[in-house]
């Protein structure tokens, strides 16, 4: 599916949720419908384009789930879906709070009539509506002629890229592959150096499909990535170890910040701990605290690093020695821990002594 133009009558730098939505619409909506609507508000607030597939990937839903959610909100008048000449969704219009409060049965019947009349032209938007500027997406991707592709292949750097890509794929490139690589190079403006890293990055994650590589390229382009260094900094956030640690600490994969990723990557690369040791530290952290878990885990691993402990076996032996030493210090005269020394007291003599003093 193509990328969607999402626009609103007015936009601001924050996501606003009306009281009317909370009071009247929230209680009746299911989990998927709420997530999709709030995500659309987030996207339009940030002026970021999206697509049905992107929303589905974001929340681990199917595209059909997303479409059902959009249809649900359109029936209630909270969004207006627009279609292109081919009948595919091309835009979503979110009304202002004033318009939301003014939704009437007449408005709903007019929307029903518009849907019955057929697809609405892509350019038929309300006057004054602010439309998000879109990067090149699937609908806008140019189809390169044979001569244009041939001219690209005659460029030395692009020709070397094709050889490298075939090596990564383990097969010859198809015409579709060439079209996609030309689009990434010419349409998105990627250098051949960045493109080679892009292919390496995707293949390293067991994705050799050109459609997947193109999707990653579009995401990088939207994030302003223009160099290999920028791409590597972004890739660090999504290394397997980062995902594993965030899951172990009870956090979602999409919640990781760059600062948190920096902590985790330092444990792995700088301290030289294995994933097993890092996850062992996470386990201890989760059993101890619910707050600041990244920093708490960092404190545990720093201590192990300073003590020269590198394996779980070494750490467990050190813990056993510490527990044994603590038990010995707590024991008194060889007696079991927490057992008091009994002292014989002659209470009759003590009472007589007290009476004499009175």
Structure confidence by residue, pLDDT tens digits, 166-223: 999 999 999 989 999 999 999 999 999 999 999 998 888 678 888 889 888 887 887 7
Structural domain boundaries enclosing 252 = 240-316
Distance, in Å, from the CA atom of 72 to the CA atom of 58, rounded to the nearest integer, reads 19
Whether 214 is in a domain gets the answer yes
Nearest to 199 by CA among 189, 179, 184: 184
- Where do the H-state alpha helices sit in the chain? 19-20, 31-46, 52-59, 63-75, 97-101, 105-117, 146-153, 156-169, 175-182, 192-203, 210-222, 228-236, 240-248, 258-265, 275-286, 293-306, 312-330, 347-356
CA atoms within 13 A on the CB side of 114: 15
Residue 58 confidence class, pLDDT cut points 50, 70, 90: confident
152 with 89, same domain? Answer: no
Q: Is the pLDDT of residue 84 over 60?
A: no
How confident is the model at residue 127, as a pLDDT?
34
* Cβ(275)–Cβ(243) below 8 Å: no
68 with 20, same domain? Answer: yes
Whether 71 is in a domain gets the answer yes
Last residue of a domain, one of 171, 205, 235: 235
Distance, in Å, from the CA atom of 320 to the CA atom of 312, rounded to the nearest integer, reads 12
How confident is the model at residue 244, as a pLDDT?
85
231 with 244, same domain? Answer: no
Q: Is the pLDDT of residue 298 over 80?
A: yes
The DSSP call for residue 94 is E
9 with 92, same domain? Answer: yes
User: CB 139: neighbour CB atoms within 10 A?
Assistant: 14
Q: Is the pLDDT of residue 253 over 80?
A: no
How confident is the model at residue 299, as a pLDDT?
92
How confident is the model at residue 136, as a pLDDT?
40
9 with 113, same domain? Answer: yes
163 with 187, same domain? Answer: yes
Counted domains in the chain: 3
Whether 153 is in a domain gets the answer yes
Distance, in Å, from the CA atom of 153 to the CA atom of 179, rounded to the nearest integer, reads 12
Instruction: Reduce the DSSP state of residue 177 to 3 states and report it.
Output: helix
Q: Calculate the average pLDDT of the chain.
A: 76
How confident is the model at residue 170, as a pLDDT?
92
How confident is the model at residue 339, as a pLDDT?
52
Whether 353 is in a domain gets the answer no
228 with 296, same domain? Answer: no
How confident is the model at residue 51, as a pLDDT?
79
Query: What CATH number is associated with residue 65?
Result: 1.10.10.10
Distance, in Å, from the CA atom of 298 to the CA atom of 282, rounded to the nearest integer, reads 9
In this prediction, what percent of the chain has a pLDDT beyond 70? 68
Q: What is the average per-residue pLDDT within 24-52?
A: 82
Between 13 and 199, name the one with better pLDDT: 199
How confident is the model at residue 330, as a pLDDT?
54
CA atoms within 13 A on the CB side of 84: 11
Between 75 and 50, name the one with better pLDDT: 75
216 with 245, same domain? Answer: no
How confident is the model at residue 166, as a pLDDT?
94
33 with 112, same domain? Answer: yes
Whether 41 is in a domain gets the answer yes
| pLDDT, tens only, 88-133 | 676 777 766 555 555 544 444 554 554 554 444 333 333 333 333 3
13 with 111, same domain? Answer: yes
Distance, in Å, from the CA atom of 241 to the CA atom of 222, rounded to the nearest integer, reads 25
How confident is the model at residue 17, as a pLDDT?
80
The DSSP call for residue 331 is -
153 with 244, same domain? Answer: no
Query: What CATH number is associated with residue 217?
Result: 1.10.10
How confident is the model at residue 104, as a pLDDT?
41
Last residue of a domain, one of 186, 213, 235: 235
Q: What is the largest CA-CA distance in the chain?
A: 122
275 with 183, same domain? Answer: no
Whether 99 is in a domain gets the answer yes
Whether 350 is in a domain gets the answer no
How confident is the model at residue 4, as a pLDDT?
58
Whether 344 is in a domain gets the answer no
Nearest to 100 by CA among 77, 81, 82: 77
Count of residues making up the chain: 358
């Amino acid at each position: 599916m193509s990328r969607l133009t999402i626009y609103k009558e007015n936009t601001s730098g924050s996501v606003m949720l009306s009281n009317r939505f909370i009071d009247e619409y929230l209680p009746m909506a299911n989990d998927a419908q709420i997530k999709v609507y709030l995500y659309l508000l987030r996207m339009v607030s940030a002026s970021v384009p999206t697509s049905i597939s992107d929303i589905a990937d974001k929340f681990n839903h199917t595209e059909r789930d997303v479409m059902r959610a959009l249809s649900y909100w359109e029936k209630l008048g909270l969004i207006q879906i627009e279609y292109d000449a081919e009948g595919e969704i091309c835009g979503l219009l979110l009304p202002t709070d004033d318009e939301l409060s003014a939704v009437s049965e007449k408005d709903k019947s007019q929307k029903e009539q518009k849907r019955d009349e057929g697809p609405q032209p892509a350019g038929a938007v309300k006057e004054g509506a602010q439309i998000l500027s879109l990067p090149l997406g699937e609908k806008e991707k140019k189809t390169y002629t044979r001569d244009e592709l041939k001219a690209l292949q005659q460029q030395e750097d692009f020709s070397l890229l094709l050889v490298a890509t075939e090596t990564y794929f383990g097969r010859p490139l198809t015409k579709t592959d060439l079209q996609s690589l030309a689009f990434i190079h010419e349409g998105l403006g990627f250098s051949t150096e960045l493109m080679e890293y892009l292919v390496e990055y995707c293949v390293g994650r067991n994705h050799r499909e050109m459609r997947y590589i193109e999707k990653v390229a579009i995401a990088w382009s939207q994030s302003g990535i223009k160099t290999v260094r920028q791409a590597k900094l972004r890739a660090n956030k999504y290394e397997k170890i980062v995902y594993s640690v965030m899951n172990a600490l009870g956090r979602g994969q999409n919640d990781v910040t760059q600062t948190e990723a920096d902590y985790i990557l330092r444990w792995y690369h700088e301290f030289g701990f294995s994933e097993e040791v890092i996850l062992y530290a996470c386990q201890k952290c989760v059993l101890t605290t619910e707050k600041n878990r990244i920093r708490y885990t960092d404190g545990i691993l720093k201590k192990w690093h300073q003590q020269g402990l590198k394996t779980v076996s070494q750490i467990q032996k050190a813990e056993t020695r510490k527990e044994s030493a603590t038990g010995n210090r707590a024991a008194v005269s060889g007696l079991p821990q927490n057992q008091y020394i009994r002292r014989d007291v002659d209470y009759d003599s003590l009472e007589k002594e007290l009476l004499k003093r009175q």
